[in-house]
Amino acid sequence: MFFIVLIVLFIVLKYFDISFFAGLSWWWLGLLMAIAFIWFEFIEKALGLDKKRAHETLEKAREERVRKTFEKDKGKKR
Stated pTM of the model: 0.60
- Asked whether the beta carbons of 14 and 24 are under 8 A apart, the reply is yes
C-alpha dist (Å) from residue 17 to 12, 13, 14, 28, 38: 8, 6, 5, 15, 27
In this prediction, residue 60 carries a pLDDT of: 93
- Asked whether the beta carbons of 3 and 36 are under 8 A apart, the reply is yes
Angle made by CA atoms 40, 35, 23, in degrees to the nearest 5: 140
Q: What is the mean pLDDT of each run of 10 residues along the chain (78 residues)?
A: 90 92 92 93 82 85 90 69
For residue 76, the SS3 value is coil
In this prediction, residue 56 carries a pLDDT of: 86
